Amino acid sequence: MTQSKKNVEEVNIIIDEVFLDKSIKKHGNFLIPILQDIQESYRYLPEEYLIKVAEKLQIPLINVYGVATFYQSFGLVPKGEHIITVCLGTACYIRGGTNMVDVLTKELNIKPGETTKDKKFTLETVHCLGCCAISPVMVIDDKIYGNLTRAKLRKILNRFRENEEKLK
Amino acid sequence: MPKIKIDGIEFDCPEYWTILDAAKFIGINIPTLCYHEGLSTWGGCRLCIVEIGKDINTKLVSSCTFPVQEGLYIRTASKKVIKARKMILELLIAQNPTAKVLQDLASKIGLNKIRFKPKWENCIYCGLCIRMCEEQMMAKAIGFVNRGNKLKITTPFDKNSEDCRRCGGCIYICPACTIRCEGSHPESVLCNGCYNILQPTCLDVHDNYSCWMGLEGECGICVTTSTNQKINEKKEI
Ligand code: SF4
Ligand code: SF4
Ligand code: SF4
Ligand code: FES
Ligand code: FES
Predicted local distance difference test score (pLDDT) of residue A29: 80
Predicted local distance difference test score (pLDDT) of residue B103: 87
Give the closest residue (by CA) to ligand 1 atom 6.
Answer: B167
pLDDT at B236 over 80: no
Instruction: Please report the atom of ligand 3 found closest to the CA of residue B184.
Output: 1
Q: Is A118 exposed, middle or buried (0-12, 13-18, 19+ CB in 10 A)?
A: exposed
Ligand lying closest to the C-alpha of residue B49: 5
A61 in B contact zone (CB under 8 Å)? yes
Beta-carbon separation of B140 and A62 below 8 A: yes
* Phi, psi angle pair for A105, to nearest 5°: -60, -40
Q: Which residue of A has its CA nearest to B154?
A: A62
Predicted local distance difference test score (pLDDT) of residue A1: 36
Could you report the per-residue pLDDT of B86-135, keeping only the tens digit for each? 999 999 999 998 888 898 888 877 787 889 999 888 899 999 999 999 99
Name which of A10-24, B24-38, B51-65, B204-218 the model is least confident about.
B204-218
A21 in B contact zone (CB under 8 Å)? no
pLDDT at B183 over 70: no
Could you report the per-residue pLDDT of B162-176, keeping only the tens digit for each? 889 999 999 999 998
Find which of B130, B157, B165 to mutate to test the A interface (most A CBs within 10 Å of its CB). Answer: B157
pLDDT at A10 over 50: no
Name which of B1-10, B47-56, B172-181 the model is least confident about.
B172-181
Query: Using an 8 Å Cβ cutoff, are B177 and B185 in contact?
Result: no
| DSSP track, A94-144 | HTTHHHHHHHHHHHH---TT-B-TTS-EEEEEES--S-GGG-S-EEETTEE
**Ligand 1 contacts CB of residue B141 (under 6 A):** yes
* Pocket around ligand 5 at a 6 A CB cut-off: B 32-35, 43-48, 62, 64
pLDDT at B198 over 70: no
Predicted local distance difference test score (pLDDT) of residue A2: 38
Ligand lying closest to the C-alpha of residue B111: 3
CA of A154 to the centre of ligand 4 (A): 20
Give the A:B interface size as CB pairs under 8 Å: 32
Q: Is the bond into B14 cis (omega within 30 degrees of 0)?
A: no
Query: Between B69 and B177, whose confidence is greater?
Result: B69
Predicted local distance difference test score (pLDDT) of residue B113: 84
Query: Using an 8 Å Cβ cutoff, are B169 and B132 in contact?
Result: yes
Instruction: Please report the atom of ligand 3 found closest to the CA of residue B180.
Output: 5
Beta-carbon separation of B163 and A62 below 8 A: yes
Average pLDDT (A148-159) is 91
pTM score: 0.77
Nearest to B31 by CA among B169, B175, B224, B146: B175
Q: Which residue of A has its CA nearest to B149?
A: A70
B140 in A contact zone (CB under 8 Å)? yes
Predicted local distance difference test score (pLDDT) of residue A12: 61
pLDDT at A118 over 70: yes
In which band, very low, low, confident or very high, does the pLDDT at A3 lie, cut at 50, 70 and 90?
Answer: very low
Query: Using an 8 Å Cβ cutoff, are B124 and B96 in contact?
Result: yes
Predicted local distance difference test score (pLDDT) of residue B145: 94
Q: What percent of chain B has pLDDT over 70?
A: 79
Contacting residues of B for A62, CB less than 8 Å apart:
140-143, 155-156, 161, 163
Could you report the per-residue pLDDT of A14-63, keeping only the tens digit for each? 778 788 888 888 888 899 999 998 988 888 899 888 999 999 889 999 99
Could you report the per-residue pLDDT of A48-107, keeping only the tens digit for each? 889 999 998 899 999 999 999 998 888 888 888 888 999 999 999 999 999 999 999 998
Nearest to B97 by CA among B126, B125, B117: B117
pLDDT at B158 over 70: yes
ipTM above 0.90, yes or no: no
Beta-carbon separation of A66 and B140 below 8 A: no
Beta-carbon separation of A65 and B141 below 8 A: no
In which band, very low, low, confident or very high, does the pLDDT at B232 lie, cut at 50, 70 and 90?
Answer: low
Contacting residues of A for B156, CB less than 8 Å apart:
50, 61-62, 64-65
Find which of B132, B145, B154 to mutate to test the A interface (most A CBs within 10 Å of its CB). Answer: B145
Query: Between B53 and B184, whose confidence is greater?
Result: B53
Residue A127, min C-alpha distance to chain B (Å) = 14
Candidates A47, A50, A63; nearest CB to B143: A63
Q: Rounded to an integer, what is the distance from CA A23 to the centroid of its chain?
A: 19
In which band, very low, low, confident or very high, does the pLDDT at B77 lie, cut at 50, 70 and 90?
Answer: confident
Average pLDDT (B184-191) is 69
Predicted local distance difference test score (pLDDT) of residue B180: 77
